[in-house]
Amino acid sequence: MTSDVQVTQAPALEMRGITKRYPGVLANAGISLDVRPGEIHALLGENGAGKTTLMNILYGLARPDAGEILVDGTPVEITSPHDAIAHRISMVHQHFMLVPVLSVSDNILLGEEPMAGPIFLDRARAHRRIRELGKTFGWEIDPDQRVESLSVGWQQRVEILKALYRNARILVLDEPTAVLTPQETKEIFAVLRRLRAEGYAIIFISHKLHEVLEIADRITVIRRGKVVGSRTPAATNEEDLAEMMVGREVNLTADRGTSHPGEVILRVEQVRVKDDRRSEVVQGVDLEVRSGEILGIAGVAGNGQDELVEAIVGLRRPSSGRIELAGRDVTHAGPRQRHRLGVGFVPADRHRFGLVLSFPLTDNFILTDYYEPPYARGIIRNEAAIDARARRGIRDYDVRTPSATVTTGTLSGGNQQKLIVAREFDGEQRLLVLDQPTRGLDVGSIEFIHGQTIAKRDAGTAILLVSAELDEVLELSDRIAVIYRGQIVAVRDGRTADKNEIGILMATGGSGASGSPSSPAA
């Protein structure tokens, strides 16, 4: 192991020699890690490197086969989240652990309900404390508001408030910015800096190297279950960290080459779409995507891009307008019909639209064509063809798994994403709709997916790209359409687009007024 990190303050938390084996895989191999009061310690690694397993052990969601955990220098046994909370350790998971139909206060209080006597909850006292905690960070939050009505950024705040309400002093944040806008990320970073100044010990897990360099005091990199080195931000850079993570030099910028657009594959004409609350969030959108080109859609989350994508792939019915695929009207066609016409779809919400987590990998690899040859003939499955398909996807897209038959829910989020990409990129699609295709992926996987996307374009596929990462849109897109409040307000050439101009259009629609929401609701 190499290290240039010099530290002297006693750790708030130490993990020594942590080892964890699963059937067919050594997830953690003698990992040692510590974090000190008033420090943000970043943990980096590829998808499947063992980061989440290590943190699950810390939070009592998994038991180590070897090793020990010390809090303030004292060995402790953590067998459940209740034990972790008792030791003032809290974890904000990559996929929020909130109950959407409950209020903010109900989510924060679950398991920590304050009582007024033996029967009744003391909601007034709880609400006062929640409001006080929120005001500490400049958050005006309504404890009675339902979580399902909050934007993703505000749900992240609720998770942090839940940890602070339980008096945590050691915070683990697993991919806390994966679904946040750049502005929301800045706000969360301001909170983390304040917590650091107040003496909190913070473990920050991320794949975004520039964010790690901005926020961390120390950085530890693990690869295939082992610590390979530690750095301070001042003594490293993105290229160095990427090479440590992957074990080879990584090209952090995609070479998109020259596009050669052909016929119009996707045509959207005056499409209007309503969201689940029956509000019209897509308002008369027109756009075209040609074979052999990537059209990127840039916009702040919540401006109608999700509903537009769902209308294009058949998951949501437009209230008016027309959608054509290669000249054929598919406005009222379902997802299966569109898939048969050559539409591939990588969804932003992989758990809701992309996978069945309780199914094995083999079944998820054929989720969109399980009923067709060679995978089935009538009601008879061809297990050999299904197994071969899964093995090919695992090999070609480096899905880290002990076998093709394990339950998909046991994979890391990044490996789940790679499974979906492997499935949807397979074959000869006319149109690929990519909604946050690299969310939760490490730099090596992002490099690979970007390369595959460009290769698909060069093979003649029309690609619609939606990403919360403006840099990704700018890097890959041949043309960029900016969406603001449900309308396309500008289209720019991808090679000459100015990042600042695109950012202003995203925030204001070109009006010069701020388009950021002033309330927690999306």
pLDDT band at residue 111 using 50, 70 and 90 as cut-offs:
low
In DSSP notation, 148-161 reads GGB-HHHHHHHHHH
Q: Are strands 431-435 and 343-346 parallel, antiparallel or unpaired?
A: parallel
pLDDT of residue 290: 98
Reported as a single tens digit per residue, the pLDDT across 318-362 is 999 999 999 999 999 999 999 999 999 999 888 889 999 999 999
CATH 3.40.50.300 fits domain 2-88+169-246: yes
> Taking the domain 264-342+428-508, which CATH number applies?
3.40.50.300
pLDDT of residue 251: 81
The total of other beta-carbon atoms located within 10 Å of residue 490's CB is 17
Specify the domain boundaries for CATH 3.40.50.300 within the chain.
Answer: 2-88+169-246, 264-342+428-508
**Among 45-59, 64-78, 110-124, 161-175, which range has the highest average pLDDT?**
64-78
pLDDT surpassing 90 at residue 518: no
pLDDT surpassing 90 at residue 253: no
Reported as a single tens digit per residue, the pLDDT across 367-420 is 999 999 999 999 999 999 999 999 999 999 989 898 999 999 988 888 899 999
Distance CA 117, CA 122 (A): 8
CA-closest candidate to residue 450, choices 430, 429, 426, 475: 475
